[in-house]
Amino acid sequence: QEEITADLARLADMKVIGAQSTHSYLPDKSRNLPAIARELGVRHLLEGSVWRANGRVRLSLRLVNIRDLDHPWIETYERSVSDVFAMQSEITRAVAARLYAKFSDPEKTAVDQSPTKNLAAYDLYLRAREGRTLWENEADVRRDSERKIALLNEAVTLDPSFALAYCELAKAHGRISFYKAGATAEELSVDHRSLAEVALQKARRLQPDLGELHLAQAFHFLYVTKDLDQARIETELARRTLPNNAELEFIAGLVARRQGRWDEAIRCLERAVTLDPRTKR
């Protein structure tokens, strides 16, 4: 779900709600789809179910126009598990076509590009991305970040060319570097800032124009090095390929607020809420 959402969100011609806001809607035939659409501020809802067994994966999709509930678009895709990335790309293109969304050449390239050729590494990456965006205290942040780091380190060991995993790894190390209150001497002995910078360096060598890399670098400059001017530059670069990313808009809003650009801060934070209305940050 999250990866198909992320692929659709790369299209500047669409407004796509983030996965954090849609996870809480459990499959239930009694759901009030118009009410959900109003809560999310959208006209279309994409639902799906996944079946996986014997090396095959089947995905059944249902795209609903809230103004025409009686005529949903229904499609089923089935592939070998090894073809899951090709299937995600095909689904993204099909949904975009159904919604008459424009596809630029760079957007087509981004959607068609597989993040990794190693499915085990991809699974670890997805597991690392699961979880909350709001924690109870700084110790909770560190525990969750350590969990992510363990998974992501295993992912990049399986695939050393996995740029997206390095980006997430850099942010996990950056969180621990930022949230130090109550940390033990042993925890403080680990140089998480340097580890984050190593991960960013590896991602830059692999895919220097990756939107998620610019987002990770904006995160690093905001929270770790406190270089607000560079953080602002990175958010602007990230927007070129991540036009529907709530995390990016949240970071851009924080940067603008700390620099005293109040009107821009409000615009960015309002857009973050629009793109992910049910998440808590």
- For residues 250 and 274, the answer to whether their CB atoms sit within 8 Å is no
CA-wise closest residue to 205 among 249, 241, 156, 146: 156
Which segment of 25-34, 54-63, 105-114, 185-194 scores lowest on mean pLDDT?
A: 25-34
Residue 224 has pLDDT above 90, yes or no: yes
The residue written with tokens 């709530």 in the block is 246
Q: In the prediction, which pLDDT does 3 show? A: 82
Give yes or no for a contact between 110 and 10, defined as CB atoms under 8 angstroms apart: yes
Q: How confident is the model at residue 23 (pLDDT cuts 50, 70, 90)?
A: confident
| The pLDDT of residue 256 | 98
218 contacts 234 by C-beta, under 8 angstroms: yes
- Average pLDDT over the chain, rounded to an integer: 92
Percent of the chain surpassing pLDDT 90: 75
Query: C-alpha dihedral over 37, 38, 43, 46, to 10 degrees?
Result: -10
- The percentage of the chain sitting over the pLDDT mark of 70, rounded to a whole number, equals 97
Residue with tokens 């002995």: 189
User: HSE (CB half, 13 Å, CA atoms) of 82?
Assistant: 2
The number of C-alpha atoms within 13 Å of 47 and in the hemisphere containing its C-beta is 16
Order of all β-strands in the sheet with 73-80: 44-53, 56-65, 73-80
pLDDT in tens, 141-188: 999 999 999 999 999 999 999 999 999 999 999 999 999 888 889 888
Contact between 213 and 167 under an 8 Å Cβ cutoff? The reply is: yes
pLDDT digits (tens, 9 = 90+) for 3-15: 888 899 999 999 9
Kindly indicate the confidence band of residue 135, based on its pLDDT and cuts at 50, 70 and 90.
confident
